[in-house]
Amino acid sequence: MSLRWGWSLLTMVMVAAVAVAMMVSIVDIEKKAWKASEQEQAELLITLLSDELKMPMLAGSKNEVATLVSMFIHEVPGATVFLHWASGESETFGDGFIPEQINGLEKLDAKPQALRGLDKWYAMGVKYNTAQMGSVALYVPGKSWDVYDAEIKLRVAVVAAVIALLAALLVYMRSGRIVNYLRMLARASKRVGAGDFSVHVPVQTQNEFGKAFNHFNQMVSSLEHREKIHDMYGEYQRPQAVADEFDRNAQRSEKSREVTVLSIDMVGFNHYLSRVGQEDALSTLNRSFALFQFIVHQFGGHIDSVSGDAMIAVFNHPFELKNHENQGVKAGIAILEASRRLEISRPEGGTVVFRVGLAIGEVIIGHLGVGRRKSLTILGEPISLASQMAKVGDGTAVAAPYGTMLSLGHGFKQKELGMRTLANGSEARCITILPGEAYVEQEVEEAVNNAFMRIEPGNFYDDDDEGWT
């Protein structure tokens, strides 16, 4: 359920809950007032009837008494009157049922009272001065409370439903602006996460959202400034990683470490260079290497060196990286996928293809170079082996020496290439490594998408608004 619909539904539920509480309270108050009004009206009626009967009962005129009571019942439809004379005689007027308790009423005070245990029955004595002439009991049916109760509940329910719908509509309309703010911030965050620091969120309000957008823009500006410095001075290595490691290791002796090395090179580069020229060839390499560098960084590695049409990526150096073998293979698969998506045409037909070779082994880590050109790098057999594995591959899968799968574990599958003659003249049993589980394919897909969004945001950004409407 979307955020806006969730808020609207919550509003309706809250209004409904308040309406139920109000309904219970209103019904209780109305019921008490109803009963009090009925009792007051009945007491008034029996008092008037008693006053009318005083003189006829004093004179002993039963006919006149009967006439007065009949007229009373005519004016109060449904009423029942039980008249008890002081002589012990009793009369009943009306069609109602006379309870047994009524027959025993004698010598009552000349004050109306409700009879306990008998709903809507009232009685009082008929006196003239101090003379007790009898007593009268009256049943007043009144209106049905159930009908009135149902009417109250219906009206409250209708009003509550209207208020709930209006409140939900108002919340839905007002929440649209909040959802738009959140959507705007989510899109901007997605682009920043992909490395696009040109994002700017317009500040259109001075409330909390405006303050948050302003802080977000300041953060992005700071990140953009750092990125420009890194792009200017960092060459092809992860700038901060190299700088930090250089400072920490400036006085240390060289050391060795097991790493995963990827070698990436372009198939038929010299022929491509001769056909398109230096500027176009350089543009193709820079565009491709920028994508590949970003992919390598996402999987925890860095670019150690670039020479001509070849690039060397290293994992587990200069910082330790858990499962660097797996991360290296994922990066290699992602690079091949990015190469296919580039679809850079070759003059003779087809598209530009890159090959990826992988090797795992121990290398020497040290600072190579002189003066300010001194940099932290690696030396060792895995670099040469990865380069030779790349030449064995065909650009569709990561090529590696046989036995590499023992270091990878789950998530991948291999394809046998058999014995191949390497560039140095030796022979080696080779394999290609492919994704073997869905989660590996998903990680690769996400990394490639992020790389394209970072390098070419205008063509690859997608505004996935699902769940925000």
Task: Give domain limits for the chain.
Answer: 3-145, 195-233, 235-456
| Residue pair 457/191 in contact by the 8 Å Cβ criterion | yes
pLDDT value at residue 227 = 67
Tens of pLDDT, residues 91-130: 889 888 888 888 777 778 888 888 888 888 899 988 888 8
pLDDT value at residue 196 = 76
> What is the rounded CA–CA span in Å between residue 315 and residue 260?
5
- DSSP strands (E only) in 172-286: 255-266
Stated as kind and residue range, the H or E segment containing 50 is: helix 3-59
How far lies 389's CA from each of 68, 265, 266, 327, in Å? 123, 11, 13, 18
First to last CA, the chain: 9
Closest CA to 268 of 255, 252, 257, 281: 281
Mean pLDDT value of segment 313-337: 90
pLDDT value at residue 380 = 85
- DSSP strands (E only) in 141-190: none
**Which segment of 228-232, 258-262, 385-389, 448-452 scores lowest on mean pLDDT?**
228-232
What crossing angle do the helices spanning 3-59 and 145-193 adopt, rounded to 10°? 170
Residue 298 scores a pLDDT above 80:
yes
Mean pLDDT value of segment 45-74: 89
pLDDT value at residue 418 = 92
Q: How far is CA 53 from the centre of its chain?
A: 78
Helix/strand/coil percentages in the chain, nearest 5? 55, 20, 25
Fill in the DSSP letter of residue 345.
B
Residue 335 scores a pLDDT above 70:
yes
pLDDT value at residue 144 = 64
Residue 238 scores a pLDDT above 90:
no
- Could you tell me how many helices (H) and strands (E) the chain has, helices first? 13, 13
> Which listed CATH number (3.30.450.40, 3.30.70.1230, 3.40.50.800, 3.40.109.10) goes with 235-456?
3.30.70.1230
Residue 463 scores a pLDDT above 50:
no
| Residue pair 188/161 in contact by the 8 Å Cβ criterion | no
Tens of pLDDT, residues 388-404: 999 998 889 999 999 99
pLDDT value at residue 469 = 45
Tens of pLDDT, residues 417-433: 999 999 888 999 999 99
pLDDT value at residue 368 = 67
Q: Which residue type occupies 69?
A: V
How far lies 52's CA from each of 2, 60, 61, 230, in Å? 73, 13, 13, 109
Fill in the DSSP letter of residue 123.
E
CATH level 2 (architecture), domain 3-145: 2-Layer Sandwich (3.30)
| Residue pair 116/164 in contact by the 8 Å Cβ criterion | no
> What is the rounded CA–CA span in Å between residue 396 and residue 337?
8
What crossing angle do the helices spanning 324-342 and 438-455 adopt, rounded to 10°? 60
Cα torsion through 328, 334, 338, 341, rounded to 10: 160
Residue 464 scores a pLDDT above 60:
no
pLDDT value at residue 466 = 45
Find where tokens 């990436």 sit.
264
> What is the rounded CA–CA span in Å between residue 287 and residue 344?
10
Residue 54 scores a pLDDT above 70:
yes
Q: What residues does 420 pair with on adjacent strands?
A: 428
Cα torsion through 362, 363, 365, 371, rounded to 10: 180
Closest CA to 49 of 82, 19, 1: 82
Highest mean pLDDT among 44-53, 134-143, 451-460: 44-53
Q: How far is CA 316 from the centre of its chain?
A: 37
Q: Which residues contact 70 (CB under 8 A, 6 or more apart)?
A: 93
Pairwise pLDDT comparison (359 vs 228), residue with the higher score: 359
Closest CA to 52 of 140, 136, 114, 139: 136
pTM beyond 0.85: no
> What is the rounded CA–CA span in Å between residue 367 and residue 373?
10
